Structures are given as structure tokens and as C-alpha cells.
Structure 1
Amino acid sequence: MQLHWSPRSPFVRKVNIILEECGMTDTVERIRSVAVFAAPPNPEILRDNPLGKIPVLITDDGQKLFDSRVICEYLIARAGRDDLLPTDPAARIKHLRWQALGDGLTDILLLWRTERARGAHADPVVEAAFETKTRAALATLDAESADLSATPFGLGHISVLCALGQLDFRYAGCGWRDGLPRLAAWHATIADRPSVASTVVVDDGGGPAGAADEVPAFTYGVSP
């Protein structure tokens, strides 16, 4: 199999965690691919994904799978790891809901950073909306931290972890751990899990500037 990937992508990280959990890391050839939202699509990616986004998985039989949700379900099924995405309807819906929340938060964080990059042309109404949604999503996760802890590790947890990782990577200094102590405590219990620790998002210099923003978009202790 081949994977269009970047070490800077939170959605690629989801796939990498699943590969680690399923013992399938060595079955994938990684193709370093740069995908930038506010730029012309990368033709190398576009050939395999008409949406021009990563990750993209090319299977052994030539299927081209996107996005991370589809790829993760494919890998989980291929590995027979029902523990990561249960077949029981109630347990499955719980994980899919957390996946929707984690992925949705990650999308907001990516789009918010793109809007901020417009500088003086950034729309303050749009930025305020991103902040409100970010705070609401994080408050929900903080309130559900006990349930996250009590539920066996799976795809929902991975999606939430990747959203929190994006906070650490691009919104360093926002103080989410101080403002959300229950969520921070849960995160600390699994941060050292091998699949989590080995896939932390990093800036390899393979695209536009990737250091975390020097001035946080928001901070805890400040009203939205």
C-alpha cells in the first residue's frame, strides 16, 4: 500500500496511529506530499484524490481511499480490530460521535489558522465564530472526560487526541490544559501510549512555515 502523508497533518496522524495499533506500519510506503489549503492543489495528490487533500491511501488492489475516516475504517477492518471500532451499535456510535467531534474541531483549527494568516484582511466575525466553536467543542470533551476514560481505547479517542495535538502544534500557549483540567488529566493517561507518542505531529520543513503561532489565537481565562 502507499500513503500520501505529511508529518504535519493531524489527519495523517490519525491514520498513523491506526497503522501502529494494527501492527501495519511496515505494510505502507509513505509518499511525502504537501497539501496547502490556500494554494493551488498539488498535482501529485490530485491524481489520487480529486479533493486534493491528504491522507490518501492506495491499496494493494489499486483503490484510492480518502479521507482519514474511510482509511481508518478500511485498515481496522483489514486488521480485524473490532476493538478499535466496535460492531455493537451503541459502542460504535459512541466512537463515531467522538470522531465527528474530534475531526470537526481539527477542521475548525485548520481553517481558523488559515483565516488568521490573512492578517489585516481576516474577518473578525469568522474568527470569533471559530473561537466560540472551539471553546464549545473543548468544553464538551472536558465534560465527557470520565466517559473517555471509561471507554476502551478506539477510533473516537484517536480523533480527539489528534485535535488536541493540533492545539499543541499550532496554538501553543492557549493554555487548554489549565482551562480544561479533566480533559488534560485524560490526555495525560494516554499520551505515552506507544502509538500516540510515536506519531506526534512535527514540522519537517517540507512546506510553508509550520512553527506554532507565536501569538495564541485564544487563551483560557479570557472570555470568548
Structure 2
Amino acid sequence: MQLVHSPASPFVRKVRACLIETGQQEDVTLKDVATTALDVAEDARAGNPSGKIPSLIRPDGPALYDSRVITRYLADRAVKAGGVDLYPESRIWEVLTLEATADAIMESAVLVVYESRLRPPEHRSEDWIEAQWSKVAHSVKAVNDRWMSHLAGPLDMSHIAIGCALGYLDFRHEARGWRKGNDALDDWFAVFSTRPCMAETAP
């Protein structure tokens, strides 16, 4: 299988971390593409007609996208091989909801980068940037206030997704200081970020 990817993408990182946690790194080769929202690489469209990354190209079926579809596929594949279950049925709705929260953080954080870097200064909207950041800030606060008991439990895909989301905030938006007022989440991330799946995929 091939993972169409760019190493700076937090969504790609989530998939790569999933591969490491489920021991499937050797089953997937990385196909690096240079693509942007304004200049989509044809290699990116090979796996996803929209050109978004990541996508997983399989020899025995159609390519899979987006990241949540890919990680669910990889997790199912791992379970069938007797490996760890990152989407345990006993708490599946919590896992999926927290993963969706992480993806929302990443989506808004990426859009802030796009607005700041890709749009000409004369067309840039600071109000739009702040509106996107508000989504990030409220989501991070919700995780800190409501989800720490879940994050303190056994590893599942939502842990990986939140870890990648917070890592992206450090990577692209460190000056925003997401840690302020989120001490519990800060403490959790300090430990989680040392896991091999995080250390090996850091942008």
C-alpha cells in the first residue's frame, strides 16, 4: 500500500502514528507530494480526486480518504491480525466524537495557515482568521474541561488524534499559546508527546 502524504500535514501525521501504534509501518510506503490548496499536485489526485491528503492507495481496492476513513481501515486491519483495537466498541461514540473534535482543531488551524500564507495581504481577513482560531480555542478548552478522564484511559484513536492536533498547534501556532488555561491537557500532552508514534512523526 502507498500513503500519499506531505510530512507537515497533521492529518497525515495521524495516519502515520496509527501505523506505528498498530505495527503496520512495513506494509505501507510513503509517497511524498508537494501540493497546496492553490496548486494541487496530480500525484495527490491519484488517491483522492479532490487532491486532499492523505490518501491510501491499495492494490486490492479503491484508494481510501480522508484520514478518519484511513485510520478506521488500518485499525480494523490490525484487529483482524490480532493487534490492538484503536476503536473499541465499548466506547466507540466517545472515541469518534473526540477524534472529530481533534480533526476540527486541525482543520481550523490549517485554514489559518492558508489564509496567512496563501492569500495576498490585501485580501487577507483578520476577522476570518480570528473566527477560525476561536474554533480552535473553544475546542481545546472543551477537551481540557470535559475529556481528561477519557484521555487518562487506555489508548485509542482519539488520543492519537488529539496528540496530533496539539502538535500541529505547537508547530504552526506556538505564539497563540494554547496551553494557557488548559493545564490538565498541557500535562497530558507533555507525556503523550514522548510516545514513539509521536516522536517518530514530529514535523
Same fold per superposition (TM over 0.5): yes
Alignment of 1:1-224 (within 5 A): 1-37=1-37, 39-80=38-79, 81=83, 83-88=85-90, 91-117=91-117, 118=119, 119-201=121-203
Report the 3-state secondary structure (helix = DSSP H, G, I; strand = E; otherwise coil) of the residue aligned with 1:128. helix
How far is the alpha carbon of 1:190 from its aligned partner?
1.3
| Larger CA deviation: 150-159 vs 124-133 | 124-133
User: What RMSD, in angstroms, separates the aligned Cα atoms of the two structures?
Assistant: 1.5
How far is the alpha carbon of 1:161 from its aligned partner?
0.9
1:85 touches 1:154 (CA, 8 Å); kept in 2? yes
Q: Which runs of 5+ in 1 are unaligned?
A: 202-224
Provide the C-alpha distance between the structure 2 equivalents of 1:64 and 1:149, rounded to a whole number of angstroms. Answer: 31
How far is the alpha carbon of 1:109 from its aligned partner?
0.4
**Which digits, 9 at most, give the CA deviation of each residue in 1:146-191, with x for residues without a partner?**
3233321111111111111111111122222243211101111211
1:148 touches 1:186 (CA, 8 Å); kept in 2? no
Q: TM-score, normalised by structure 1?
A: 0.83
1:3 touches 1:57 (CA, 8 Å); kept in 2? yes
How far is the alpha carbon of 1:145 from its aligned partner?
4.7
Q: Which runs of 5+ in 2 are unaligned?
A: none
The residue type equivalent to 1:55 in the other structure is P
| Runs of 4 or more above 4 Å deviation | none
2:76 touches 2:85 (CA, 8 Å); kept in 1? no
How many residues of Structure 1 are paired with residues of Structure 2 in the alignment?
A: 198
**Which digits, 9 at most, give the CA deviation of each residue in 1:110-163, with x for residues without a partner?**
111111223232123312211221211111011135323332111111111111
Provide the C-alpha distance between the structure 1 equivalents of 2:102 and 2:94, rounded to a whole number of angstroms. Answer: 12
Report the 3-state secondary structure (helix = DSSP H, G, I; strand = E; otherwise coil) of the residue aligned with 2:165. helix
**Which digits, 9 at most, give the CA deviation of each residue in 1:176-216, with x for residues without a partner?**
22432111011112111111211112xxxxxxxxxxxxxxx
